[in-house]
Amino acid sequence: MIKVPTLTDQHTLAKADAETHILIVDDEQLMCDICSRALESSPYKVTSTTDVHVALRKLCDDQPFDLLIADIQMPHMNGLELAQHAREIHPSIVIIIITGHASIENLQQAVRSGIADFLTKPFEIDELRLAIDQALSKRRLLQDSIRLRAIEQLLASSEAINATLDCAVLNRIILQHAIAHVPCTAGFLFLSNQQCAPHNLLALPDGWSLLEAGRAAINLTYRDGVTRLIDQQNILCKNGEQCIRRGIAVAIRAQGEVIGILLLCDNQAAIDQPGVQETITLLSNYAGTALRNAHFYSQLQQTYHDLQELDRLKSEFIAIASHELRTPLAIVLGYATMFYDQSSGAQRAYVQRLVESAQRIKNIVDDMVSLRHMELRETNVYIENVSLQSLVDFVVELITPAAQQKNQHLIIQIPDPTVMLTTDREKVVLILGNLLSNAIKFTPEHGTIEVSAGIWAHRWRADLPHAPLSYINGEWIRQHAADASLDDDDTAWVVFHVRDNGIGIPKQEQGRIFERFYQVADSLTREYGGTGLGLAIARDLINLLGGLIVVESAIHHGSTFSFALPYYKGEGGPSDPYSDVVYE
pLDDT by residue (tens digit) across 352-395?
A: 888 777 777 777 777 767 766 666 666 778 888 999 999 999 99
Tell whether 278 is covered by a domain. yes
Which range among 59-63, 362-366, 485-489 shows the weakest confidence by mean pLDDT?
485-489
The model's confidence at residue 452, banded by pLDDT at 50, 70 and 90, is: very high
> What is the average pLDDT value for the chain, to the nearest integer?
78
What average pLDDT does this structure show over 132-161?
78
Boundary-marking domain end, from 100, 126, 158: 158
In this structure, the answer to whether residues 146 and 214 fall within a common structural domain is no
Which range among 86-95, 108-117, 305-314, 464-473 shows the weakest confidence by mean pLDDT?
464-473
Tell whether 326 is covered by a domain. no
Please, are residues 36 and 23 in contact by the beta-carbon 8 Å criterion? Answer: no
Q: What is the DSSP letter of 528?
A: S
C-alpha to C-alpha distance for 472 and 496, rounded to whole angstroms: 8
Say yes or no to pLDDT of 14 above 60: no
C-alpha to C-alpha distance for 498 and 435, rounded to whole angstroms: 7
The model's confidence at residue 469, banded by pLDDT at 50, 70 and 90, is: very low
Boundary-marking domain end, from 268, 291, 314: 291
Which range among 16-20, 99-103, 318-322, 514-518 shows the weakest confidence by mean pLDDT?
16-20
Which range among 53-67, 255-269, 419-433, 522-536 shows the weakest confidence by mean pLDDT?
522-536
In this structure, the answer to whether residues 117 and 220 fall within a common structural domain is no
For residue 564, the cross-strand partners are: 495, 548
CATH number of the domain residue 248 falls in: 3.30.450.40
The model's confidence at residue 523, banded by pLDDT at 50, 70 and 90, is: very low
Structural domain range at position 451: 379-566
Say yes or no to pLDDT of 583 above 60: no
CATH number of the domain residue 490 falls in: 3.30.565.10
The model's confidence at residue 412, banded by pLDDT at 50, 70 and 90, is: very high
- Quote the crossing angle between the two packed helices 274-342 and 125-161, to the nearest 10°: 10
pLDDT at 576: 41
pLDDT at 90: 77
Question: For residue 44, how many C-alpha atoms fall within 13 Å in the half-sphere facing its CB?
Answer: 23
pLDDT at 13: 38
The model's confidence at residue 276, banded by pLDDT at 50, 70 and 90, is: confident
pLDDT at 144: 73
Q: What is the pLDDT of residues 199-248, one digit of tens each?
A: 657 888 889 998 998 888 888 888 888 888 888 788 999 999 899 988 88
The model's confidence at residue 198, banded by pLDDT at 50, 70 and 90, is: low
In this structure, the answer to whether residues 417 and 270 fall within a common structural domain is no
Tell whether 33 is covered by a domain. yes
In this structure, the answer to whether residues 418 and 385 fall within a common structural domain is yes
- Our count of domains for the chain comes to 3
Which range among 146-150, 287-291, 421-425, 472-476 shows the weakest confidence by mean pLDDT?
472-476
In this structure, the answer to whether residues 134 and 241 fall within a common structural domain is no
For residue 262, the cross-strand partners are: 189, 250
What average pLDDT does this structure show over 386-411?
91
Angle among Cα 569, 571, 577 to the nearest 5 degrees reads 15
The model's confidence at residue 440, banded by pLDDT at 50, 70 and 90, is: very high
The model's confidence at residue 560, banded by pLDDT at 50, 70 and 90, is: very high
pLDDT at 8: 44
The model's confidence at residue 271, banded by pLDDT at 50, 70 and 90, is: low
pLDDT at 146: 64
Tell whether 365 is covered by a domain. no
In this structure, the answer to whether residues 19 and 38 fall within a common structural domain is yes
pLDDT at 74: 86
Cis before 205? omega within 30:
yes
C-alpha to C-alpha distance for 253 and 117, rounded to whole angstroms: 46
Boundary-marking domain end, from 135, 158, 181: 158
The model's confidence at residue 449, banded by pLDDT at 50, 70 and 90, is: very high
Cβ count within 10 A of residue 168: 11
In this structure, the answer to whether residues 110 and 220 fall within a common structural domain is no
Tell whether 408 is covered by a domain. yes
3-state secondary structure 555-581: CCCCEEEEEEEECCECCCCCCCCCCCC
pLDDT at 137: 85
C-alpha to C-alpha distance for 495 and 493, rounded to whole angstroms: 6
For 236-311, strand residue ranges (E) read: 237-239, 242-244, 246-254, 257-265
pLDDT at 580: 42
The model's confidence at residue 529, banded by pLDDT at 50, 70 and 90, is: low
pLDDT at 132: 87
In this structure, the answer to whether residues 21 and 96 fall within a common structural domain is yes
Tell whether 216 is covered by a domain. yes
pLDDT at 443: 92
Say yes or no to pLDDT of 349 above 50: yes
Tell whether 61 is covered by a domain. yes
